Structure 1
Amino acid sequence: MSLPAEAVDALQAFQDLPGWEQRARLLMQWGERLPVLNEVEMCDTNRVHGCESQVWLVGELKDGHWQFRANSDARLIRGLVALLLARVNGLSANELQQVDLADWFNQLGLGRQLSQSRSNGLNAVLQRMRELAA
């Protein structure tokens, strides 16, 4: 499966960085790029359960391709969610089912920095995306 253009950009940006400090800085910058969710969207219905931080997710199907928007109250999580959105936005429901979260973050060079709780939280976000797409 080919990667969305934004995912290719993310890979190039992160793979060029020598160490964790630079990746962490870039991760925060990616988090700042997330589109703002309004108060109505940041409701309990859109909250992803299974995350230690609060994460809200909304998805919409456009011409057979999913577009997700999300936000979090935690800066690092916002960055990780932004990278997840880069990987999944524009995919069909079927393609969404095939996304390998661990592989994606390993390709970005961020796999080692994902604690068990962060990994579980991101998996919960991906699971919620799959539920919305089902």
Structure 2
Amino acid sequence: MAQPAFEDIVADFDFLEDWEDRYRYVIDHGKAMQALDDALKVPSTKVDGCASQVWLHPRIESGVFSFEGDSDAMIVRGLISVLRALYNGLPVAEVPSVDAGGELARLGLNDHLSAQRSNGLRAMIERIRLVAAEEAQS
């Protein structure tokens, strides 16, 4: 079972039947997300493998994982928001074991994102897992 915030997104997606409405929903989530401070948009937070500019800034406090993120593309900002709902608040040791592909499949995103967006989404997930795995080992 995913985080409650992600379950809310799943429920909203079930309610929205049209993919244009679902895209708009994801974009609106991205618009509502606070922008990442420009000082954090540095090479070490930039995610390679994305068609657009993407930055993820992870934080681990008291063993709990969270991250902020930003992108120059509104749909990608929305995808970052979806990933935040999936991962934020988890114990850092649990982050690498999240079946992100399976959880995101519940939204049907894989069938409706371009190949470039899907690759970028995988790159973001891989960065999240890597950071969490490194922290869990230290």
Question: When the two structures are superposed, what TM-score results if normalisation uses the length of structure 2?
Answer: 0.89
Q: Distance in 1 between matches of 2:131 and 2:108?
A: 28
Q: Does 1:104 align with 2:103?
A: yes
Q: Is contact 1:34–1:69 with CA below 8 Å preserved after alignment?
A: no
Q: Supply the AA of the counterpart residue of 1:75.
A: M
Q: Supply the AA of the counterpart residue of 1:86.
A: A
**Runs of 4 or more off by more than 3 Å in structure 1?**
none
- CA shift digits 1:93-113 (9 cap, x unpaired): 332112223222221132211
- CA shift digits 1:51-99 (9 cap, x unpaired): 1111000011122110110000001111111111111111223321122
- 2:37 counterpart residue number: 38
Structure 2 SS opposite 1:112: helix
Matched-pair identity in %: 35
Q: Is contact 2:56–2:68 with CA below 8 Å preserved after alignment?
A: yes
Structure 2 SS opposite 1:40: helix
Q: Which runs of 5+ in 2 are unaligned?
A: none
Structure 2 SS opposite 1:44: coil
Structure 2 SS opposite 1:68: strand
Q: Is contact 2:58–2:68 with CA below 8 Å preserved after alignment?
A: yes
Pick the structure with more helix per residue: 2
Larger displacement relative to structure 2 (107-116 or 23-32) = 107-116
CA deviation after TM superposition for structure 1 residue 14, in Å: 1.1
Give the number of aligned pairs.
133
Larger displacement relative to structure 2 (52-61 or 30-39) = 30-39
CA deviation after TM superposition for structure 1 residue 37, in Å: 1.0
RMSD between aligned residues: 1.3
- 1:68 counterpart residue number: 67
Structure 1 SS opposite 2:39: coil
- 1:5 counterpart residue number: 4
Q: Is contact 2:3–2:85 with CA below 8 Å preserved after alignment?
A: yes
Q: Distance in 2 between matches of 1:25 and 1:124?
A: 23
